[in-house]
């Protein structure tokens, strides 16, 4: 009998194409503070990064504690308001997750975003009942590229890290999964292969991937 396999998904850029809407929310957030980051700066310093990093980088001072909570809430509330009418899963992910579940894979989501964002997306993407672990920014002390969120997800699912496959789209997220000793599928929604650490497999979307693909990575 095969050992159990766990598949853990990041959320932004992996379950849904949210990054353009995060960019819009941050542009609005920074505009009222007389800041106008370029697309290149967003690509380098926003995608896959925690809000504490993003805000500290662009505001050019350490943002932490109560101020971080307030600013994060302001920006993420903007994001949810902007994105809610447009929520749509990346092509094929719902059928892929059903295929994984049918074949006995344990499933989880591990995001650097706040739990309210995860709740919003799971209210529109019908995968919640198949997930055995949900991890958001509130659930960890150390953010990606630290492996904490993925190691905790593996523990929640009862599967050893070396039997886990992570779907990630960002440099810091892929680094976190590699630091956890997991296999990684790079989702090329925000970056090219060349911009990311080496992954075990790459996809543009989920239309041509199955449980058999995942099994073949071991």
CA 191 vs CA 47, 170, 183: distances in Å: 9, 7, 19
Q: Check if the beta carbon of residue 16 is closer than 8 Å to that of residue 116.
A: no
- Residue 51 CB-density burial (10 A; 0-12 exposed, 13-18 middle, 19+ buried): buried
- Active-site annotation holder among 12, 73, 146, 169: 12
**What is the token pair recorded at 150?**
């993925």
Catalytic residue flag (residue 10): yes
Distance in angstroms (rounded) separating the CA atoms of residues 31 and 38: 12
Catalytic residue flag (residue 146): no
Active site residues: 10, 12
């Amino acid at each position: 009998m095969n050992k159990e396999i766990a598949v853990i998904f990041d959320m932004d850029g992996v379950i849904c194409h949210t990054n353009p809407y995060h960019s819009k929310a941050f542009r609005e957030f920074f505009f009222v503070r007389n800041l106008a980051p370029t697309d290149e700066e967003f690509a380098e310093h926003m995608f896959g990064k925690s809000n504490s990093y993003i805000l500290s980088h662009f505001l050019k001072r350490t943002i932490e504690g109560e101020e971080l909570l307030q600013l994060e809430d302001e920006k993420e509330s903007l994001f949810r308001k902007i994105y809610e009418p447009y929520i749509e899963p990346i092509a094929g992910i719902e059928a892929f997750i059903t295929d994984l579940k049918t074949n006995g894979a344990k499933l989880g989501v591990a995001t650097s975003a706040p739990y309210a964002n995860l709740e919003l997306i799971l209210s529109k993407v019908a995968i919640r009942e198949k997930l055995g672990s949900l991890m958001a920014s509130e659930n960890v002390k150390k953010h990606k590229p630290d492996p904490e969120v993925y190691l905790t997800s593996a523990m929640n699912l009862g599967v050893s890290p070396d039997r886990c496959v992570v779907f990630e789209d960002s440099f810091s997220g892929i680094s976190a999964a590699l630091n956890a000793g997991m296999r990684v599928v790079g989702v090329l929604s925000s970056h090219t292969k060349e911009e990311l650490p080496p992954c075990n497999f790459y996809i543009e979307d989920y239309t041509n991937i199955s449980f058999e693909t995942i099994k073949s990575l071991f």
